Amino acid sequence: MALYKELHSKGLNIIGVSLDKDAKAWKDAIAKDKLTWNHVSNLKFWDEPIAAQYKVQSIPATFILDASGNVVAQDLRGAELRAKILELLAK
């Protein structure tokens, strides 16, 4: 969340895709964690079409897309995630 707050004004966008089955629990978690980016879910658990499209096999899964929508990295965390985002925003 800190990375989003820091870099959103520079062009970072996040879309959270949930594999939840319960709409209330999903929405409550977003509110509790104060997540301000966009969230989507079909409430289909592992049958989520977006997860299938990106071949998600475990969660959490992270995909970094460039400005053209191409996946340029995935499952980065911490310093590696930050470095890749900064690299893309500098282009």
Taking Cα atoms as reference points, which of 40, 47, 50, 49 lies closest to residue 18? 40
Domain 2-89 is classified in which CATH homologous superfamily? Glutaredoxin (3.40.30.10)
Q: CA separation (Å) from 4 to 10, 12, 77? A: 10, 7, 13
User: In this model, does residue 1 exceed pLDDT 90?
Assistant: no
pLDDT digits (tens, 9 = 90+) for 34-81: 999 999 999 999 999 999 999 999 999 999 998 888 999 999 999 999
Phi, psi of 80 (to 5 degrees): -65, -40
CA quadruple 81, 87, 90, 91: dihedral, nearest 10: -120
Residue 67's pLDDT is what?
Answer: 85
Question: What pLDDT, on a 0 to 100 scale, did the predictor assign at position 91?
Answer: 82
The residue extents of the domains of the chain are: 2-89
Measured CA to CA, the distance from residue 27 to residue 12 in angstroms comes to: 23
The three-point CA angle 60-54-35 to 5° equals: 40
Q: How far lies 79's CA from each of 45, 72, 76, 82, 85, in Å?
A: 30, 16, 8, 5, 10
pTM of the complete model: 0.82
